[in-house]
Amino acid sequence: QEVDEGERDQPGVGDSEMDGVAEDYAARSSGIYNANEVKDQVFEELRIDPQVAQEVQASWKAFCATAETIEAAGDAVYSALFGAVPTLQTLFKTPRAVMAMRFVNALNLLISALHDPPTLKILTETYGFQHLDLDVTIPRIVAFREAVIVLLSEELGTRFSPMARDGFATLLNYMGGAFVYIRVQYAERLACLSRSWALANGRSTVGEDGEEEEAE
């Protein structure tokens, strides 16, 4: 079923099942991030409870094991995402096979770094800079999050525990919110650096009035 890209409500898979787990998880974790909200006004380290991180990593490993190859796992994520929200496909020009591998490799690295908040933040920031040209929005982040959660729930069944589900949702919210934050906060700074670099190298640049100016 196609997800309405403009839908801001954050639907959950098994919400009633997750309520108690989320409360317990929040009590044992620190920081502002959670499974229900996308925080795009701040970008701090994500500190997930070690038990939750372990559940996420175990679930991801189990999911990858259900696929014949890592490429097949990536294709499953790709299909789940663009099957739920076909309009997102217009954001990516990369061939399907390449994009699928990028998805799965990125998730591999981020999930592996859950026990190391500083490294996780650096990885997330790196991916954020790589996606500065994409129009990442909160509804799209929610759609991506839910597509991944549904895929894992369908593939793993009871092996995908409420704690793992909560951890995955928190990680995906963190990643998406960071992308929005980086795009808003750093886009103008990068543009200024680009103009300065052009001036330093004697190339023409674009002035505030939109007209091309020659560096002196």
Looking up tokens 């259900």, which residue turns up? 66
**Rounded distance, CA 78 to CA 34, Å?**
24
3-state helix, strand, coil in the chain (%, to 5): 65, 5, 30
Q: In the prediction, which pLDDT does 208 show?
A: 47
CB count, 10 Å around CB of 154?
12
Q: Considering the chain, what percentage of its residues have pLDDT values greater than 70?
A: 79
* pLDDT score recorded for residue 152: 95
Contact 42, 174 (CB under 8 A): no
Predicted pLDDT of residue 51: 95
Cα-only R_g, the chain = 19
26 has pLDDT over 70: no
Q: Which pLDDT tens digit goes with each residue over 60-116?
A: 999 999 988 888 999 999 888 888 777 777 777 778 888 889 889 999 999 999 999
Q: For 155-183, what is the mean pLDDT? A: 94
Taking every pair of C-alpha atoms in the chain, what is the biggest distance, in angstroms? 67
Residue type, 97: A
On whether the CB atoms of residues 129 and 186 are closer than 8 A, the answer is: yes
pLDDT at 203: 59
